[in-house]
């Protein structure tokens, strides 16, 4: 295959490396991405009353880089180590960040995660970790964020299920989550994305029409360039196992939701081969959903690491790499056009390097590229256009 130009999409920076046992941060500005919550866009397909909202009225505070990772990002009024859902969810995402980063460093064998810890003036903060140009991973980001802010009235009204004549003022909110995108070098090793988040409104008692609301969201999805059916079945079986521990309807419901959400509409194809995805989930017991989100997050390593371990040293040629780069282009298209976290950050003046860190280092576009029918590349494209039931 002739060599064609490759478009480089990089949010790299000259960060120092840290050993696996130490994630301290120097006192300087570093590349990071904050977890963006699409507050103004409530598009749960099970709630047709929710409508897209513009988000220009939500200010984003500038982050301040800190030298040491704090024990907690919660405000003192929330308690530093209580049994609230906020506190337990924060502990969960910190633990998952540590376990995923440790597993990925062991798998890579050469690269280490670079850490950037930061806070915001009104409370909250985050820890961003990026491994770049490793032996196995081209780029891997695993990031947590705890955010306090104010939701504009129109976004709150869009979120409410019941029609009301009351007009609340700006509604304080709390949001926390973990977000990750992992891009391996080998074309036969798949990209992975996962994100788990918790959201609360926290309106004052004297604010009419604005009672406290809460919901969970998240998911884990697989984006390979080539299909190894045993890998895809393994991945989906882990997602189903996590779901079935709580409700047998979860996996088929959230698998379809994932296929629908990661739809690149202008190409009429999915970004990858799916997984699970859910949002605005609050129609079950809160404790059960906290446990469910924890189970899903803890399933990332067993679902993904064995696949990459198996494929990371598979021989490949220039044709395989070019196809991977074309599929990375599709990944970029979805993230920049449709992904709610990315578009929210871009519309509200967020830090560009932080927002775009989920993109791969390199991607590729060819004019009117069509894989030969029946080829391995064609089989992947067909599966993206016609989602399958893998288990």
* Residues with catalytic function: 193
Beta strands 114-119 and 64-66 are: antiparallel
DSSP state letter for 372: P
d(CA 93, CA 113): 17
**Contact status, residue 91 vs residue 100, Cβ threshold 8 Å:** no
d(CA 88, CA 198): 11
**Contact status, residue 336 vs residue 342, Cβ threshold 8 Å:** yes
Beta bridge partners of 127: 117, 144
d(CA 42, CA 157): 10
d(CA 259, CA 177): 22
Q: H or E element: which one contains 299?
A: none
d(CA 80, CA 96): 19
DSSP state letter for 208: T
Indicate the SS3 state at residue 262: coil
d(CA 27, CA 116): 9
**Contact status, residue 88 vs residue 290, Cβ threshold 8 Å:** yes
- Measured from the Cβ of residue 212, the count of other Cβ atoms closer than 10 Å reads 11
Q: H or E element: which one contains 288?
A: helix 286-298
User: Hey, which bits of the chain come out as E strands?
Assistant: 7-8, 64-66, 114-119, 124-132, 137-151, 171-184, 191-201, 214-223, 263-264, 269-270, 275-281, 362-363
Indicate the SS3 state at residue 343: helix
Helices (H), 109-217: 153-159
**Contact status, residue 125 vs residue 140, Cβ threshold 8 Å:** no
């Amino acid at each position: 295959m002739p060599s064609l130009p490759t478009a480089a999409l990089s949010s790299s920076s000259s960060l120092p490396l840290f050993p696996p046992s130490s994630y301290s941060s120097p006192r300087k500005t570093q590349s990071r991405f904050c977890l963006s919550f699409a507050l103004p866009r409530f598009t749960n397909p099970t709630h047709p009353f929710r409508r897209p909202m513009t988000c220009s009225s939500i200010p984003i505070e500038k982050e301040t880089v800190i030298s040491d990772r704090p024990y907690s990002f919660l405000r003192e009024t929330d308690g530093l180590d209580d049994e609230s859902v906020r506190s337990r969810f924060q502990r969960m995402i910190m633990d998952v960040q540590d376990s995923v980063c440790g597993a990925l460093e062991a798998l890579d064998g050469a690269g280490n995660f670079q850490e950037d810890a930061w806070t915001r003036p009104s409370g909250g903060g985050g820890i961003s970790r990026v491994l770049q140009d490793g032996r196995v991973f081209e780029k891997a980001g695993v990031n947590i964020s705890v955010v306090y802010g104010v939701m504009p009235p129109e976004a709150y009204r869009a979120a409410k299920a019941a029609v009301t004549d009351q007009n609340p003022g700006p509604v304080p909110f709390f949001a926390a989550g973990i977000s990750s995108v992992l891009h391996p070098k080998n074309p036969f090793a798949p990209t992975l994305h996962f994100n788990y988040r918790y959201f609360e409104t926290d309106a004052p008692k004297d604010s009419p029409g604005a009672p406290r609301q809460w919901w969970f969201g998240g998911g884990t999805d697989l984006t390979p360039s080539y299909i190894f059916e045993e890998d895809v079945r393994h991945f989906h079986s882990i997602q189903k196992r996590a779901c079935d521990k709580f409700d047998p309807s979860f996996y088929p419901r959230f698998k379809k939701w994932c296929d629908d959400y990661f739809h690149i509409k202008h190409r009429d194809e999915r970004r990858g081969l799916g997984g699970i995805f859910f949002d605005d989930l609050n129609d079950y017991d809160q404790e059960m959903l906290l446990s469910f989100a924890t189970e899903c997050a803890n399933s990332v390593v067993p679902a993904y690491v064995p696949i990459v371990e198996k494929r990371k040293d598979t021989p490949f040629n220039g044709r395989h790499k070019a196809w991977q780069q074309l599929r990375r282009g599709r990944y970029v298209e979805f993230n920049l056009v449709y992904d709610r976290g990315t578009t929210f950050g871009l519309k509200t003046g967020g830090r560009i390097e932080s927002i775009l860190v989920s993109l791969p280092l390199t991607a590729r576009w060819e004019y009117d590229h069509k894989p030969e029918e029946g080829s391995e590349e064609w089989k992947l494209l067909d599966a993206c256009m016609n989602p399958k039931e893998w288990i």
